[in-house]
Structure 1
Amino acid sequence: MQSDQDAEPQIDVTENRHAATFGVGIGFIVFDSIIIALRIYARTFTLRALGTDDILMIIGAILNFGLSITIMIGSKYGIGKHALAISASDTVPMLKCIWVTRLLYTASMGFVKMSLLWFYLRLDPRKYMRWAVFFVMFFNVGLSLASFIGALAGCSPPSLFWTDPTAEGCMPMAPQQRFYEVNGILNIVTDILTYLLPVPMLYGLQLGWRKKGAILGIFGLGILSIAAACVRYSFVKKLSSAEEEYYLLLADSLNWCTIEAYVAIFCGCAPSLSVLIKTYAPAVFGSSNVTSAKSPSASYFMQRQRTPLKSNRRLGQGDITLGSQDAIVTGGVPDQGPDQDGIVMKTDIQMDVSSAKSAEDVTYKREYYEFTKRA
C-alpha cells in the first residue's frame, strides 16, 4: 500500500485571480483616467492645440478601459478560476468575454501606438525620420489589422467560439496557439521600434541636453511597456501546456495586456503633462516665477498680438513683452504672410516680467511648443 506521501497532491480548485484582476483593472482605470483628463486639459486649455494624436490616444484609452471592464466581468464567470470550478452555465458568458478581450486588446494597442507615432511626426521634419515613422506606422497598422481579423476569423461564424469551439468552423487549438505566439513576438518588436524612434529625433531638436535627457527619460518608461509585453508573452507560452489551470494563466496574461497598454498611455501623455507641472508647480523645475493669468500677484500681463516669428532669431530679453501669439515659422525666411508654408505655433505665456528668471520660463515654453507643434 502506498503511503500518503506517495499520493498525488490535491488540486486547490478554489484558487482564483479575482483580487489581482480587480486590483489591476480598477487601479489603472482610475490612474489613467486622471492622466488622460490632464492631457486633455493641457492640450485644450493650456496649449490650445488638441491634435490627431490626442484623439487617437483618447480612443485607445477608452478601448483599454473596456478591456479591463470585460476582464473583470469575465472573472465573475470563470476567467481567473480553476477549470474544475467553472460551472457549465458560466462557460458561455466567460467565452464571450474572452472573445471580446481579444478584439479590444488589439484595437486599443493599435490606437495607442498610432497616437505615439503621430506625435513623432511633429518632432522631426527631416525626410528620412518621417519615412522611418511611416514605416513603423505601416507595420503597426498591418499587425493590428491582421490580429483583429485573426480574432474575428478564429471561428466562422464567431458564435461558434462560445457555443462549440471544437466545431469544424473554428481554428484548431494548436494553430491558434502558434498564431498568438507569433503575434506576441511581433507585438514586442513593434513596441521596441516605437520607443526607439524618439532617440535619433532628439538630436535634431533645438533643446538643451538637460531637456533632451528628461524627454528620453519619459519615453524610457516605454521599457516597462516592453517588459509587460514580454511577461504577457511568457504566459501565452504557458497556455499551450495548461489544462485545468488554463483560465488561471489566462487571467494573468490578460492582466499584463492591460498593464502594457496603460504604461504606453502614460508614456504618451507625459510630454503634455510636463507643461502643466511647469505652469502650476514651477518649483518642481527649480523656478517659481511663472504666474497664472488669474493671479493678482503678476506685475502686468502681456497684450495679445499677432507677430511673425523668425526661426533664425533667438529669444532675448527684449522679447519678454510678447505674450500670447500666433506665429508662422518659415524656416529662416523673413515674413512671408499667413499663406506660406511653415510651422503654425500658438503660445500663451503669462509671467512676472520683473523676475530675472522670466526669460528662462519663456524659453522653456517656447521650446516645448516647438517640440509639440512641429508638423
Structure 2
Amino acid sequence: MSASTPQLTPAFLAEDRRPQARIGITVVTALSALVVLVRAYARGCLIRSFGWDDGLICVAMLMNIVVMALSLQVLRYGAGLHIWAIDPAQAPMLYKWLVAAQLVYMIALWMCRISGLAFYWRLNPMPQFQVYLRVSFAFVTAVLVAQVLIIALQCIPLAALWGGADGTCMGSKTVFISTAAMTIICDSIILLLPLKIVFSIHANPARKVALSVVLCFGVFAVMTSVCRIVAMIPAIKQADATWYFSVVMVWSDTEVSTAIIALSLPALKGLVGAVAGSTHKGSSHAESHSGSHDLQLHTVSPKESHLFQGKHPYQRSEIYPSDVYARSDGESEEALWVDEDSRAIHVQNTVRVSVSDRVEGV
C-alpha cells in the first residue's frame, strides 16, 4: 500500500462528515431566509416601498434554497465520505449533482450582486454613479457567463467528468481556482461601490464610519469566499477528494447566505426606524391634543425624493411606491444618513411635514 493511501480499516471507512455538513447548510440557509422574510415584511408592509432590489433578493433566496437542496444531494451520494467508502455505482450521481450545485450557486451569487446594484441605484441616482453601476452589471454578468462556460465545458464531453464517456478535462484545480477567483473579484467590486457613496456625503468621520459598517457588511461575503477557496485546496490536492467535498459545500452555502444577509442589513434599518417612528408618532399625537402644535402629514408623490437629507439634497425620480412611516423630526426610514450641517428640514422620500400654530376662539 502506497504512502499516500491510508490503511482502509473498517473504522476509517465508516468515518462520516455528512451529519455536521447537513446541520451547517441548513442553519445558514434558514438564517438567511429569516432575514429575507423580515426584510420583505419591513419593506412591503411597514415602509410600503418594495423595490426591485427587494424582489431580486427574494429570488436569490429561492435560489439559495435550491443550492441547499442540491448540496444535500451531493452529500447523499458520498460527499463527506472517504473516496474508498463510496459505492462506485453512486460516484457518477455525486458528480452530476455537484455540477448542478455549482451552476446554481454561481447564478444565486449573481442574483445577489444584481440586487446589490439595484439597491445602490435606488440609493444614489447621480448620473456618474449610475455609469459605475452599469459597468459593474456588465462585468458581473460577463463573469457569470464565463463561470458557467467553465463548469459546463470542464470536460468535453461533460460525461467524461464522471466516467460516462472518454474525453478531455481541464482538471479540477483549473476549474475551482478560476471560478473562485472570479467570485472574489465580483464580490470585492460590490463591496467597494458603497465607498463612493460614503465619501460623497457631508458628515463627520464617526457617521461615515457607521454608514460604512452598514453598507460594507459585504466584507464578510468576501471572507467566506476566501474560506471556500481554502477548503478547496485539500479537495484538489488530496486523493481523498470526496472527504473534503462536504466542507466545500458548507462554505458554498454559507457564502450565498452571507451575501443575502449582508445585502439585507441596510434595508432592515427601515424596520427599526418604523418601530421607533410609530412610538414617536404616538407621543407627538398626544402633544398635539395637549395644545402645543398641530402636526400635519401629507403623502409625497413617489417622484419627489432625495438622495440624502442635507443642505443640498439631490432630487430624483423614484420608481418605487413610497408610503413610509414618518417621524416628526423629519427623518424617514429610507434615509440612511442626515447632513449634520443642515438647519432646514428635508424629508426623505415619503412625507411632507407642515407645522402650524392654532389659536382657539379666533
Class of the TM-score when normalised by the shorter of the 2 chains: 0.7 to 0.9
Q: Deviations over 1:268-293 (max 9, x none)?
A: 1111211112323x3xxxx883358x
Question: Which blocks of at least 5 consecutive residues in structure 2 are unaligned?
Answer: 308-314, 338-346, 351-362
SS of residue in 1 equivalent to 2:39: helix
Moved more, 222-231 or 198-207: 198-207
Task: Work out which of the residue numbers 310, 335, 341 in structure 2 matches 1:367.
Answer: 335
Q: Would the alpha carbon gap of residues 154 and 235 (structure 1) be closer, same or farther in structure 2, given more than 3 Å must change?
A: same
* Corresponding residue number in structure 2 for 1:235: 231
Counterpart residue number, 2:72? 72
2:192 is the alignment partner of 1:196 = yes
Shift of 1:123: 2.1
Cα contact 2:287–2:293 (8 A) shared by 1: no
Q: Does 1:270 align with 2:265?
A: yes
Equivalence map 1:1-375=2 (5 Å): 10=7, 12-164=12-164, 167-168=166-167, 170-173=168-171, 176-205=172-201, 212-243=208-239, 245-280=240-275, 282=276, 289-290=279-280, 299=286, 320-329=295-304, 342-343=317-318, 346-349=322-325, 358-359=328-329, 362-365=330-333, 367-368=335-336
Change (3 A) 1:218 1:322: same
TM-score for both structures, normalised by structure 2: 0.78
CA separation in 2, counterparts of 1:151 and 1:371?
45
Partner of 1:139: helix, strand, or coil? helix
CA distance in 2, matches of 1:343, 1:59: 22
Q: What is the CA deviation profile of residues 16-67 of structure 1, one whole-angstrom value per residue up to 9, with x for unaligned ones?
A: 3213311211111221111111111122112222222122211211112111
User: Residues of 2 paired with 1:78 and 1:192: CA distance?
Assistant: 33
> Displacement of 1:204 after TM fit?
3.4
Would the alpha carbon gap of residues 368 and 341 (structure 1) be closer, same or farther in structure 2, given more than 3 Å must change? closer
SS at match of 2:103: helix
Q: CA deviation at 1:331?
A: 7.7
Q: Indicate how the Cα distance of structure 1 residues 155 and 372 shifts in structure 2: closer, same or farther if over 3 A, else same.
A: farther
Secondary structure at the residue paired with 1:197?
helix
Count of matched residue pairs: 325
Identify the residue that residue 304 of structure 1 maps to in structure 2: none
CA offsets 1:261-313 (integer angstroms, 9 cap, x no match): 11110011111211112323x3xxxx883358xxx995499xxxxxxxxxxxx
Q: 1:9: Cα distance to partner?
A: 6.1
Tell me by how many angstroms 1:341 deviates. 7.0
The Cα shift of 1:343 comes to: 3.8
Over the matched positions of the two proteins, sequence identity in percent amounts to 18
Cα gap change, 1:101 to 1:319, in 2 (>3 Å): farther
Instruction: Kindly provide the amino acid, as one letter, of the partner of residue 169 in structure 2.
Output: M
Q: Cα distance 1:204–1:324, how it changes in 2: closer, same or farther (>3 A)? A: same
Question: CA separation of 1:275/1:341 partners in 2, compared to 1, >3 Å: closer, same or farther?
Answer: closer
SS at match of 1:367: coil
Structure 1 stretches lacking a partner, 5+ long: 1-5, 302-316, 333-339, 352-357
CA distance in 2 between partners of 1:13 and 1:131 (Å): 56
Asked if the contact 2:326/2:333 (under 8 Å) is kept, the reply is: no
| Structure 1 CA distance for aligned equivalents of residues 100 and 235 of structure 2 | 18
**In structure 1, distance between residues paired with 2:87 and 2:287:** 71
Aligned alpha-carbon RMSD (Å): 3.5
Shift of 1:257: 1.3
3-state secondary structure, aligned to 1:88 = coil
Q: Tell me, what secondary structure is at the counterpart of 1:347?
A: coil
